[in-house]
Structure 1
Amino acid sequence: MRFLTRRLVLPSDLNYGDSLFGGRVLQWIDEEAAIYTICQLETNYIVTKHIGEISFESPALKGDVIEFGLETKKVGKTSITISCLVRNKATKKTICFADEIVFVQIDPQTRKPVAHGKTLEILAKETAKEIEQLQLDKPHRNK
């Protein structure tokens, strides 16, 4: 699982119990998973088809930095299934886990599903190439 983005929990994100509002984190999960899918499929013509089981494990509080880990689970002809782990950046405690988020690529005119031409193997190779190009595993040097 790759942890790609972070958010700061602000006062406007809290519920009446002074912890992160579940609806807000669900909004963020859908947004982060959509961005991840857009990058994977190289198109922004996608729709959320399904969000499966979501389990909340621990609270996030005002001032916490949370991070979103995303992973491709399955790839269909027109769909892609993502899982998302939200955790506290400092403690690494799981805040919540969305196990199955399904997106479908659509034709922009007809709004009907269309094949995206990707497989799990293709996506894995593209991700490995992207990581290599970014040189994430090499220390940065000041010149």
Structure 2
Amino acid sequence: MRFHTRKWVKPEDLNPNGTLFGGRLLAWIDEEAALYAIIQLENPKVVTKFISEIDFKSSAKKGDIVEIGIEVVKFGRSSITLKSEVRNKMTRETILTVDNIVMVNLDKNGNALPHGKQEIEFVKDRLDSDED
């Protein structure tokens, strides 16, 4: 799993218990999944269709640095299914896992659009192939 984004847990991210609010963490994951899908599918019109069971394993507190990992589970016709793990950057302790996040590729009218992708592509490889 690749960990692309780090977030610093600040006071405004806390719940009344003094730990990271789950809703804030889910918003960070949703944004990370969207960015990942947009880059992979090369289309800014991507939406979240489904998020499976969310498993909170531990918590984070003010001052912790968390990192969000995303990995492709599979490519569908017009979708990409991802999984995510969030962990404490310093201790490597897993905070949360999500097994399936389905992102759907859309056309300009908001309809599902086949993307033709079957494997992970890295931006650097796309840029290198453009030079040929």
CA distance in 1 between counterparts of 2:55 and 2:105 reads 26
Cα distance per residue 1:75-98 (max 9 Å; x no partner): 011000000100000000000011
Deviation at 1:116, TM superposition (A): 0.5
Task: Give the match for residue 28 of structure 2.
Answer: 28
Task: Give the match for residue 72 of structure 1.
Answer: 72
Task: Give the match for residue 104 of structure 1.
Answer: 104
Q: SS of 1:91's equivalent?
A: coil
Q: Which amino acid aligns with 1:117?
A: G
Q: SS of 2:83's equivalent?
A: strand
Q: Which amino acid aligns with 1:10?
A: K
Unpaired runs of 5+ residues, structure 1, are 134-143
Q: Which amino acid aligns with 1:88?
A: N
CA distance in 2 between counterparts of 1:34 and 1:128 reads 16
Task: Give the match for residue 136 of structure 1.
Answer: none
Deviation at 1:128, TM superposition (A): 9.0
Unpaired runs of 5+ residues, structure 2, are none
1:105-124 superposed matches below 5 A: 105-108=105-108, 110-120=109-119, 123=120
Q: SS of 1:80's equivalent?
A: strand
CA distance in 1 between counterparts of 2:48 and 2:26 reads 13
Task: Give the match for residue 41 of structure 1.
Answer: 41
Cα distance per residue 1:50-100 (max 9 Å; x no partner): 000110000100000000111000101100000010000000000001110
Task: Give the match for residue 10 of structure 2.
Answer: 10
Identical pairs, percent: 52
Q: Which amino acid aligns with 1:111?
A: G
How many aligned positions are there?
A: 126
Deviation at 1:127, TM superposition (A): 2.9
Q: Give the CA RMSD over aligned residues.
A: 1.4
* Cα distance change on mapping 1:112 and 1:128 into 2, 3 Å: closer
TM-score normalised by structure 1 residue count: 0.84
CA distance in 1 between counterparts of 2:18 and 2:113 reads 43
TM-score normalised by structure 2 residue count: 0.91
